[in-house]
A and B are shown apart, each in its own frame.
Chain A
Amino acid sequence: MQMRDFVVRFAGEGGQGVVTSAEGLAQVSTQVGYHALTYSTFPSQIMGGPTWTQARISDAPILSAGDDVDVLVAFNREAYETHFSEVRDGGVIIYNSNDREFEGFEAEGESRIFGLPIDDLAKSTGNTRAANMVVIGALAHLVNMSQDYLEQFVEQRFRRGRDGDAEIIESNIKAIKLGRAETARSGFALGELAPAKAPDYKQIMLRGNDALSLGAMAAGVEFYIGYPISPATTILLWMERNLVGPGKFAYQVSSEIESITGILGAGYAGKKAMTATAGPGFSLMSEGLGLGWMAEIPVVVVDVQRGGPATGLPTKTEQSDLMACMYPAHGDVRLPVIAVGTVEEAFYGAIWAFNWAERYQGPVILMTEMSLADRVQNIARPDLSKITLESRQTYQGSNGYHRYSGSEMSPMPIPGNPGAYVANGSEHDDMGDTTHLPDRHVQMTERRFNKLKLLEDGYYESENTEASVAVMPWGGSKGPAYEAFLRLQEQEVSLGWYYTMFLHPLPPKLLEELKQKKLVIVPELNYQGQFSSILRSMGVNAHSITQYTGLPFKVRDLVDRITEMTQSPQKEMARA
């Protein structure tokens, strides 16, 4: 049986190599021309605790983490007990029979399972560090992946021009062969994975937060400060290592209040400044974001969404911060929001966020989510020559400038140069002086909202635009929703597809199209149906498919629920 893709879940204890195994498989696969996407959840603890990561491997670009687990690799008993029920019928469970926990282990009523003596096999190669390769060999047998591919990978990986390369390569290849042979003896097999079709373009493989950091770097970020918080911490660490050099600054501060007010100071001083946080930190930034809007200071704030209010679910995924991001502060404020849905979009979304912030001179919120933050995926290598970078319009005249004059965006003076003014968080006149006059508040409020019109250049995806019912997810639900859309296409369901990462302002033409629809179905990971309620307020008959489990959508569930809504839109609307 030929397979287009398969999903392997590695589960065990933190520190047992769960993540490295999954990422190793992704690396092997992409290097020989397959596509890979990993998905993981971590316990909120430092050492130990149950953890798992899965990798989906395919001969075509991958949209979601995959509904079913084809192979479970259980590193301990608890992992087996927790995950065996998610292995599909006909799937395979491999456990490390050398682990003491599995001594005398018999899985009652479970026929899909076999023990692999991972440590013994690795030891017999003379290289105990080749344990991962034993597992890769086992998986290669199950999907009948070509041995040539794997040996080619090992060559590339370990040929480093050092003494001993040859032995390491030999032991790793031996480990793969032993894993293969042992698994062949078990009698299990899943089928034959379609041959790899290596893309004819250059690729990189990286996690979502790294892509976002790289995008910010490509956009010209100069100033980054942040405070550790899951799942945004990796952006802080990336910046501290890479945002180095004259005129650049990356730094850990003592709270998210310091983060937001600090980047506002830097944005005011002329820098492209950014911070990244998650829900709790974002809540602390509320007042500062209002200051950025009021005083017209460009900054980019990344919200890596996790689950729930307060401390909530620090290591789970959710899309429940949209309202908070769009309306983050008291008073009349509506900030521009870009929400990325893939690892690739994390890169380009960051560039857009900086361009928008510079262009309209104010804060831009860049939303991502836990499931994207730690997802590792292969993407086309970005071509920097095709990227447009924008910088703010700066004031070049003499002193005596009225920085806030008029009802549109106006050039911004940079400290050190003529044009001194007060950037004021109190309502102000055109010179920046505090005022309470009604006419001024009207003028300045309208000025602040007028500037959003500069940001209506976002693009969007659309397919089957003639259908009267359309599905339009946002953020990380894009992948599973598009996979569901493709399946419904196969079933010849009449359904349109829309997607944009520019949630505010929406591309005006997209909004016009959505308004024409009988129904717009919005899959989103929150209880309230946040995006659909925003769309409804704009005159779109939008209704949500919600989920609030802390996990991403499964494609199968979306297919069912979209089908239900397209068949009885009236009923569904009444319920919403």
Chain B
Amino acid sequence: MSRKNPEYDFKWCPGCGDFGVRRALELAMINRLEETGLPMESNVMVAGIGCSGNLVHLLEGPQPYGIHGIHGRTLPIAMGVKMARPELNVVIVAGDGDFLSIGAEHIGPQAARNLNVCAVIMDNGVYGLTKGQSSPTTKEGTITSSTPFGKMEIAADPLELYLTLGVSFIASGFSGNPRRLAELINQGMNHKGFSMVHVQSPCVTYNDTFQLIKGNAKEGIEPMIWDIPEDHDRTDKAAAHALIQKRGLPVGVIYQDDSRLSLDDRVQQIWSKDRQHSVDQLIDAYAI
């Protein structure tokens, strides 16, 4: 995996937003290592397919476990890993195409279950690896290689979607500030339940939004990015909704509900109900 493997033949474009997300993930995992004392091998990265999915191979330093599976299925794969071994820290990395288009059917169920994993979504508003098709977050009317007359659908609103579906931790970040992003990812990892860290990670080749996000005073472009104020009540769903409606790119934690049990906690409660039988007992239930 990763680093100096000459055989590994995938490269991100120079300046790709995903470099910043990679840095943030490395920082977050090292932070976690320092906080918990658990080895790097207690982390499992479940990657989607696309530019962002290759992050699992490109991490520097000590390596976590990884799965580079099939398109759109990060969430159920991660569910399998987490429910098999709740002590592992399971992190999803996927793009807006993988997660919000082909994989969208899995968000609702995991949110309802409150699956205890952290999903880091790199949103660049385009399918990069297949060279520039429109994605769910591409703006309406945008001309892309697959929308020669402009995109015919409205853009998805991922943060609102997560809130509606019942995701219990929602943060929004920007790949241009890896340290801040790492803090958000750490908070997501520490949240006992389903955490979504939605990251604007621009595609420099097909949809370069760096300038739009950061702004450019010389050209009179107002920055989209803004910090969520400290007095925002993240436990208040209505406040979270209002915050998302302010648009732009908020950075920080939008919503957090600590009151719900995670799926692995619920399963542990079932264990305590003492319904276990040995295989011999189960067989003898059918005795003639």
Contacts and interface: CB of A to CB of B under 8 A. Distances in A.
A426 B7 CA distance: 14
Interface string B85-121: 1011000000000000000011011000000000000
Central interface residue in B42, B65, B277, by most chain A CB within 10 Å: B65
B283 interface: yes
Contacts of A263: 80
A27 B288 CA distance: 8
Interface in A261-296: 261-271, 273, 287-288, 290-291, 295
Contacts of B69: 261, 264, 291, 295, 423, 425
Contact of A434 (B10, B41, B46, B67): B10
Contacts of A214: 279, 282-283, 286
A349 interface: no
A30 B288 contact: yes
A244 interface: yes
B56 A440 contact: no
Contacts of B76: 253, 257-258, 261-262, 265
A245 B9 CA distance: 45
A251 B67 CA distance: 22
A13 interface: no
Interface string B256-272: 00000000000100110
Contact of B282 (A242, A267, A290, A415): A242
A203 B1 contact: no
A547 B105 CA distance: 39
Interface in A433-464: 433-437, 440
A399 to B, nearest CB: 7
A471 B287 CA distance: 35
A419 B69 CA distance: 19
Nearest to A272: B84
Nearest to B277: A242
Contacts of A206: 286
B224 interface: no
Contacts of B84: 222-223, 249, 265-266, 269-271, 273
Interface stretch (A48-56, A319-327, A353-361, A376-384): A376-384
Interface in A174-224: 202-206, 210, 214, 217-218, 222-223
A559 interface: no
A420 interface: yes
Given A30-B288, A437-B7, A416 B77 contact: no
Contacts of B137: none
A431 interface: yes
B63 interface: yes
A225 B267 CA distance: 13
A419 B39 CA distance: 12
A422 B109 contact: no
Contacts of B267: 249
Contacts of A202: 287
A45 interface: no
Nearest to A413: B65
A435 B8 contact: yes
A230 interface: no
B44 interface: yes
Contacts of A416: 41-42, 85, 87-88
B109 A429 contact: no
Determine the main DSSP class of A at the interface with B. Answer: mixed
B36 interface: no
A255 interface: yes
B64 interface: yes
B188 to A, nearest CB: 19
A413 B1 CA distance: 14
B51 to A, nearest CB: 12
Contacts of A382: 283
Nearest to A387: B279
Interface in A403-434: 413, 415-426, 429, 431-434
B67 A262 contact: no
Nearest to B69: A425
A433 B83 contact: no
A204 B287 contact: yes
Contacts of B82: 265
A261 B8 contact: no
Given A266-B81, A435-B9, A288 B280 contact: no
A157 B88 CA distance: 49
B254 interface: no
A415 B88 contact: yes
Contacts of A433: 1-2, 5, 7-8, 57
Interface of B: 1-2, 5, 7-10, 39-42, 44, 46, 49, 54, 56-57, 62-70, 73, 76-85, 87-88, 105-106, 108-109, 267, 270-271, 273, 275-277, 279-280, 282-284, 286-288
Interface of A: 27, 30-31, 202-206, 210, 214, 217-218, 222-223, 225, 241-242, 244-246, 249, 251, 253-255, 257-258, 261-271, 273, 287-288, 290-291, 295, 378, 381-382, 384, 399, 413, 415-426, 429, 431-437, 440
22 contacts: A30-B288, A203-B288, A214-B282, A214-B283, A254-B106, A258-B79, A261-B80, A262-B83, A264-B69, A265-B76, A268-B81, A269-B80, A273-B84, A287-B70, A382-B283, A399-B41, A422-B68, A423-B67, A424-B67, A429-B5, A432-B66, A433-B2
The 7 A-B residue pairs with the shortest CB-CB distance in the complex, in nearest-first order: A265-B80, A266-B84, A422-B66, A204-B286, A269-B84, A262-B80, A258-B76
